[in-house]
Amino acid sequence: MQQHMTDALSGKVAMVTGANAGMGKEISLGLARLGATLVMVVKEFGAGHDRLHALVNNAGMTAARRTETVDGLETVFATNHLGPFLLTNLLLPVLKASASARIVTVSSGAQAMGKLDFNGLQSARSYGEIRVYNASKLANILFTYELARRIKGNGVTSNAVEPGFIKTNLKVPFPFSIFSFMRGKPVDGAKPSIFLASSPDVEDVSGAFYNNKGVATTSSKITYDDATAGRLWKVSGELTHLDLN
C-alpha cells in the first residue's frame, strides 16, 4: 500500500457502513482526510445525493447465541452478508451512474475456515458462534467475486479485504479471545479498505481479495467456484426479497 495523495477523493462521495465506531470510524476518517464527502445515513442518501463513488461494506458482528432479526433471519448471517448484499444492490444504479466507482467489502481471514450449508444458512437446527461467523465471512468473498462478474464493464469495481486481527467493539469468540493481546489498532485495520477505496493503483482491479498489507492474495478454494457463488446470489436475493431480474 502506497501513501495516498491528500486530495485523492476530492469531489467524491463515499459511504461506510458501521461507521460510528472502531474500524469503520477510522475508515471514514481516512477517506474524509483524502477529501471525500462521507455519507453514513442510508435512508436519506437518495434525497441528498445522486452520485456515490465508494461504498465500503464494513459493518459486522458475531454472537454467542442464535438470535433473529425482525425479518426472522439469523442475525449474524443477515448482518454480515445479507445486509451488504442488499445495500449494494440497492445502490448499484447510483454507483454505475458515478463510474468510476468502487465497492469494498470487509471480510476476514476467517473466510478460509468457512463452510456454507445451503440447507442450513439460518442455523435453525444447530448454532455455533465461530462456525456461523466464518460462514458469513466466506459469503462476503463469494458475493464480492459474483458481483464483480455481474458489473464488469460498468465502470464499477468490487473487491474484498481482510483487515487483520483488529481490536474493535466486535467481541472475539473463545478460544480466539485468549490471543486478544495480539490484536492491532482500528486505524491499522482501516488502511487496506482506504487503499482499495481510493488508490489509483487499484482503479481497474475487480474481483480480488486483499490482505491486511494491501496485497492481492488468494481466498479459499470454494470462493472460485462460480456455481456456488451464483447459488448464494440467488438465495440471497430470495431472502432479501430483491428482484434481481
Joined together, the cell numbers standing for residue 92 give 448499484
Distance CA 48, CA 46 (A): 6
Q: Is 133 a residue of the active site?
A: yes
Residue-wise pLDDT tens digits, 16-44? 988 777 778 888 899 999 999 988 667 67
Active-site residue, selected from the candidate residues 127, 133, 210, 224 = 133
pTM of the model: 0.88
Distance CA 161, CA 164 (A): 9
Distance CA 245, CA 51 (A): 23
Residue-wise pLDDT tens digits, 217-244? 999 999 999 999 999 999 999 999 998 7
CB 159 within 8 A of CB 205: yes
Residue-wise pLDDT tens digits, 6-15? 677 888 999 9
pLDDT computed for residue 179 by the predictor: 46
pLDDT computed for residue 167 by the predictor: 55
In the chain, the domains with their CATH numbers are 13-239 (3.40.50.720)
- Length in residues, the chain: 245
